Amino acid sequence: MTVIRVDKLSKSYFVPEREAGLSAALKSLVRRKTREVKAVDAISFEIGAGEIVGFLGPNGAGKTTTLKMLSGLLYPTGGAAHVLGFVPEKRERGFLTQVTLVMGNRNQLQWDIPALDSYDLQRAIYGLDPAGYRRTRDELIELMQVGDLVRKPVRNLSLGERMKVEFIGALLHNPKVIFLDEPTLGLDVTMQRRLREFVAGYNARTGATVLLTSHYMADVEALCKRVIVIHNGTLLYDGDLTGLGARFAAYKTISASFDQAPPALDGYGEVMSTDGLRVTLRVPKAETSRVTARLLTDLAVVDLTVEDPPIDDVIEKVFNSQAVG
Amino acid sequence: MNVIRLWLNFVRVGVLGEIQYRVNFLVQLLQSAIALATALIVLALIFSYTQTLGGWTGPELLALMGVHTLVGGLIHMSIQPNMERLMQDVQNGTLDYALIKPADSQALVSVREFRLWQGVDVIVGALVIGYAVYQLREIFGWQQALAFAAALGCGAAMIYAFWLILTTGAFWFVRMENLLELWQGLYSAGRAPVGIYPDWLKYGLTFLVPVAFAVTVPAEAVTGRLTLETLAGAIALAAALLVGARWFWFFGLRRYSGASA
Amino acid sequence: MRNLLDFYLGQMRIAAVTQLQYRAANYFYMIGMVAEPVVYLVVWSTIAAAQGGSVGGYTAGGFAAYYIVWTLVRNMNIVFTPYGWEWRIREGQLSGMLLRPIHPLHGDIAYFAGWKVAVIILWLPIAAVLALAFRPEINPTWQEVVVFFIAIWGAYLIRTMLLWLLGMITFWTTRVGALFELYFAAELLLSGRLVPMSVMPPWVQELSAWMPFRWAFQYPIEALVGDLPTDQLWLGLGMQALWIVLAGGAALFAWRWAVKQYSAVGG
C-alpha cells in the first residue's frame, strides 16, 4: 500500500542577491536584485506502508523543504504530494493526527516543566482517550528507557535526554507516518545508536512509515534499506542502499600489506593512506584488475584486499561530481 | 588612548553592519517621531490645565523631555547593547573569547556593540533641547552650556557605571535580564522632574538609581537652576561610581574565572 | 468541546505553574511596570492639587484609585507580543504550532490566561503597598466588583485578539517596529492608560468611543473605581463582547492568510 506519493513536486523561492562590501550594500538599497531558486525541482517517488526510507543530500539539497511540504508546512509551487490519501498543505485534522515531525535540536516540549506534564497536554491536543494514552506513554517510556527523566523539568535534561523525551512526545498519538529531520544532530555516538534502535523497534512494532534525513551515514546504514538521494533539488537516485555504491562508485580501494617498506606507489593509483607496511590505494573501477596484477608482480605483497569504498565516500563523490558538472 | 582606538574600531564595524539596513534607519526615525509626538501630546495635555508643574514651565519641561530622549538614545546606542551582550556571554560561557584578548577587559566588554540607528534619539533629543533653549534664551548663556555638558557627562558616566555594576551581578545570578526590565520602568520616571515625587521615591531615583542625575540635573543646567554644589556633587558621585564599578567588575571577574576553572 | 476544555485547563495549569516558578522574574517585571502609573499619578495629583482639588472629575484620591487598579488591568493587558511572531517564525516554533491539530489561538489564550492567574496572586501585595503609599479613595458596590471581575477578562480577550491581528503583519514584513509603535501610541492615548478619558479634550473622548482600546483598559477600571450608572456598567460588558467577536473574527481571518503566506515562502 502506498502511503506517500510524490508527483513532480516542486518548490521555488525568490531570494535577494547581494555582493559583499559597502558599495554593493549601498547599491542594493536602490535596486534589489532577486533570483529564483529551485529548492525542489520536480521530484517523484512513492513510499509504501512500513518502509524506512533515508533521504540523502548535502546541505541545501532540498531535503528539509521536501519534508516540510510532506508535513503540510509548505505549499508546493508545482506538482502534488499525497500522504495517507490527504493533501498535506490542507492541514486537515485527520492528516495532522496521523503524522509527526521530529527535528533535531528543536524543542516542542515546554521548557520549564517535566515532560510528563507536556505529554498530558499532548493528550488533550490530540484528543486521545486517557487509558490508551497512558498505555502508549508507558510503553514508549519503557522502550526509550528514560525512566524518571520524564519527571524532571525539560531544561534540566542533557541534549540527548531531551531528544529522547521529545521523541516520546512526538509519538504519543500513534502516528502512521513519521518524518525525522536530522534527529540525531549533535548527539554522541551511544545516544545516536540508542535512538536508531528505538526507531527500528518502533517501526517493526507499529508498522509506521518513516522518512528520515540525516547527516550521519551510520543512521541511514542502520535503518534504511532504501535511500532517495537528491541534489540541487533534483532526484539523483532512488533504490537500495547497496545499489548506490555499485551505481555511483567509480573506483575501488585496494589495501596491500608488504613485508618491507614499499617504494612510492603513486604510479599505481591515488595513495589514500599509509599505515606502516600497509598502503591503501584508490583506483578507477575499470583498472582494478590491471593494477592488482601489477602490484602482485612488481612488489612483495603479503596480503591484498579489494573493496567498494565506504558509503559516505560514495555519497561525497556523488555530490562533488554533481556540483562540478 | 588605546581604549578610544578600540572603541572607534568597534564603532566602525557596527556602522558598517548597520548601514546595510537603511530601512532600519527609516523605521527608527518613524519610531522616534511617534515617541516624540506622544510626549508632546502629553506635555500639551498637562499644560492645558496648568502653567507650571512642580515649578517647571512648559519650555523647561520640554528641555527635560529633550534630555530624557537624548540620554535614552545614548543608553540604547551603546550602554545597553554592550551590557546585554555581556550578560549573554556570561550565560553562554562565551565571555572567555573576550577575556582572552590582550586588552583591558572592562574596556573591551563596554565597547563591543554599537547601534548606529538608535542614535536617532540622540539627535531628536538634541533638537528638542535646542528648541527649548531658544525659548529660554533669556536665561541660557555659556555658563549654562558648560554646566549642561558637565552634568550630561556625569549622568552618562553614572548610568554606565550603574549598568556595569548590575550586569556584573550576572556572575552571581545568571538571570539578570529582569533587572533590566525594572530599569526600563524606573528610567521612564525621569520624564517628570524628580522634585515632584514623594520623598521616598525622590531619594530612590537619586541615589539608588541615578535617573535624577542623568536627566533632571542636566535639565536643571539648561534651565539655569543648577547650583554649583549640585554639580560638584554630581562630579564626585560619578567619579566614585566609576571607581566602584571598576573594582566590582574585577571582583566579579575573579569569581567568574574561579567558577569556570 | 470536552477536549477543548481539557486542553484549556491543562495549558492554564502549566502556565500558572511555570510562571510561579519565575516569581522573582515576574516581580521585577511588575515592579518595573509600576513606575509608569506612578509618574502619571504624581503628575496628575500635583495638577489636581493646583487646580483646587480635581481634574476631569478626579481628585488626588480618585487618581490614586484609578492608577492602582490600572496596574492590575495593565497586567491583564499583557498578551503575546506582536514582536514575538518574528521569533516564532525564525525559531521554528510556528512549524510545531501548525503541526498540532488545534488552533494556535487557543494555545495563546489558554497560556496567557493561566499566567494571569499567577499574576493576580502576585499583584495583591503590590496593590497593598501602593495603597499605603498613595491613599486611594475607593468604595465599590458588590455589583461593581462582579462586573469588574468579568470585565478584566473581557479586556484580556480584546487585547489578545487585537495584538494577534497586529502580529499577523509579521508574515509579510519584518520591519514592523514603527507600525507597532504607532499602534501602541494610539492605544496609550485613547485607552485611558495615560489619563482617564474625562481628562482628555472632548474630541478625543469622542474618537475613543469608536475604538476598541478603552473597553480593554478604562472600562474595567471605571467599573470598579468610578460611579458608572447601572445600565452603563452592564452595557460595557456587551461592548466588550462585541469587540471580542469583531477583533477575534478579524484575527482568525488574518491568520488564514498568514498561514498561506508562510506556507508559500517557508520559514
Q: Which of B159, B143, B131 is nearest to B227 (CA)?
A: B143
Instruction: Give the gap in angstroms from C-alpha C41 to the nearest C-alpha of chain B.
Output: 10
pLDDT for the residue numbered A25: 58
Residues of A in contact with C263 (CB under 8 A): 72-75, 89
**CA-CA distance, C29 to C32, in Å (whole number)?**
5
Containing structural domain, residue A273: 250-307
pLDDT, tens digit, 9 for 90 and up, residues A282-305: 888 888 888 888 888 888 888 888
**CA-CA distance, B68 to B131, in Å (whole number)?**
15
> What phi, psi does A263 have (nearest 5°)?
-70, 175
Please compute Rg for chain A using Cα positions.
24
Crossing angle (nearest 10°) for helices A22-30 and B2-19: 30
Cα angle at A47 between A44 and A51, to 5 degrees?
150
Neighbours of chain B (3+ CB pairs under 8 A): A, C
Domains of chain B: total: 1
In-domain check, residue A323: no
Share the mean pLDDT of chain A. Answer: 85
Residues A90 and A223 in one domain: yes
B92 close contact with C: CB closer than 8 A: no
pLDDT at B254 over 50: yes
With CB atoms and an 8 Å threshold, state whether C28 touches B179: yes
Residues of A in contact with B19 (CB under 8 A): 22, 25-26
Among positive and negative, which fits the CA dihedral A261, A265, A268, A271?
A: positive
Number of A–B residue contacts, CB under 8 Å: 7
A110 close contact with C: CB closer than 8 A: yes
Residue identified by cell 491543562 is C10
pLDDT, tens digit, 9 for 90 and up, residues A277-288: 888 888 888 888
Residues of C in contact with A172 (CB under 8 A): none
Identity of the residue numbered B120: V
Containing structural domain, residue C239: 2-265
User: What 3-state class would DSSP assign to C167?
Assistant: helix
What are the cell numbers at C18? 511555570
pLDDT, tens digit, 9 for 90 and up, residues B24-46: 788 888 999 999 999 999 999 99
The enclosing H or E element of B52 equals: none
- Which are the contacts of A169, defined by CB distance < 8 A and separation ≥ 6? A108, A109, A115, A118, A119, A122
pLDDT for the residue numbered C110: 95
With CB atoms and an 8 Å threshold, state whether B16 touches A22: yes
Mean pLDDT of A40-50: 94
Q: What is the DSSP letter of B214?
A: I
Domains of chain C: total: 1
With CB atoms and an 8 Å threshold, state whether B189 touches C35: yes
pLDDT, tens digit, 9 for 90 and up, residues A215-259: 777 888 889 999 998 888 889 889 988 787 777 777 788 888 888
pTM of the model: 0.83
Domains of chain A: total: 2
pLDDT at C66 over 90: yes
Mean pLDDT of B175-192: 79
Q: Are A145 and A138 in contact (CB under 8 A)?
A: no
With CB atoms and an 8 Å threshold, state whether B42 touches C47: no
A20 close contact with B: CB closer than 8 A: no
Please compute Rg for chain B using Cα positions.
19
**CA-CA distance, C183 to C212, in Å (whole number)?**
12
What is the complex's ipTM, to 2 decimals? Answer: 0.86
Q: Which of B36, B69, B41 is nearest to C190 (CA)?
A: B41
Identity of the residue numbered A30: V
What are the cell numbers at B7? 572603541
Q: Are A98 and A3 in contact (CB under 8 A)?
A: no
Q: Are A183 and A100 in contact (CB under 8 A)?
A: no
Q: Is A261 exposed, middle or buried (0-12, 13-18, 19+ CB in 10 A)?
A: exposed
In-domain check, residue A113: yes
Residues A164 and A272 in one domain: no
With CB atoms and an 8 Å threshold, state whether A73 touches C95: yes
A54-63, A84-93, B160-169: the lowest-pLDDT one: A54-63
DSSP-assigned states of every residue in A39-58: EEEEEEEEEETT-EEEEE--
Q: Alpha carbon of A156 to those of A19, A167, C78: distances in Å?
A: 43, 17, 28
Q: Is B99 exposed, middle or buried (0-12, 13-18, 19+ CB in 10 A)?
A: middle
In-domain check, residue A37: no
pLDDT for the residue numbered A325: 36
User: What 3-state class would DSSP assign to C263?
Assistant: helix
B56 close contact with C: CB closer than 8 A: no
**CA-CA distance, A137 to A142, in Å (whole number)?**
9
DSSP-assigned states of every residue in C188-200: HHHSSSSS-GGGS
C129 close contact with B: CB closer than 8 A: no
**CA-CA distance, C95 to C107, in Å (whole number)?**
14
- Which are the contacts of C264, defined by CB distance < 8 A and separation ≥ 6? A74, A75
Q: Which of A102, A106, A105, A100 is nearest to A88 (CA)?
A: A100
A300 close contact with B: CB closer than 8 A: no
Name the pLDDT band for A324 (thresholds 50, 70, 90).
very low
Residues A180 and A134 in one domain: yes
Q: Which of A93, A95, A73 is nearest to A82 (CA)?
A: A95
Widest pairwise Cα distance in chain B? 63
Strand A209-213 to strand A177-181: parallel, antiparallel, or no bridges (unpaired)? parallel
Containing structural domain, residue B114: 2-260
> What phi, psi does A153 have (nearest 5°)?
-55, 140
**CA-CA distance, C240 to C223, in Å (whole number)?**
13
**CA-CA distance, C81 to A101, in Å (whole number)?**
27
pLDDT, tens digit, 9 for 90 and up, residues C94-148: 888 999 999 999 999 999 999 999 899 889 999 999 999 998 998 899 999 999 9
Q: Which of A57, A61, A69, A54 is nearest to A6 (CA)?
A: A69
Q: Are C38 and C72 in contact (CB under 8 A)?
A: no
What are the cell numbers at C65? 484609585
Identity of the residue numbered A56: L
> Across the interface, which of C10, C22, C96 has its CB nearest the CB of A124?
C10
DSSP-assigned states of every residue in A186-247: T--HHHHHHHHHHHHHHHHHH--EEEEE-S-HHHHHHH-SEEEEEETTEEEEEEEHHHHHHH
Instruction: Enumerate residues 212 to 241 of chain B having a beta carbon within 8 A of any beta carbon in chain C.
Output: none
Name the pLDDT band for A20 (thresholds 50, 70, 90).
low
In-domain check, residue A68: yes
pLDDT for the residue numbered C48: 92
Residues A188 and A302 in one domain: no
With CB atoms and an 8 Å threshold, state whether A113 touches C17: yes
H helices present in chain C, as ranges: 2-21, 23-50, 60-76, 84-90, 93-99, 104-134, 142-167, 177-190, 202-209, 218-225, 230-265
**CA-CA distance, A262 to A264, in Å (whole number)?**
7
CATH number of domain containing A189: 3.40.50.300
What are the cell numbers at C249? 473574527
User: What 3-state class would DSSP assign to B100?
Assistant: coil
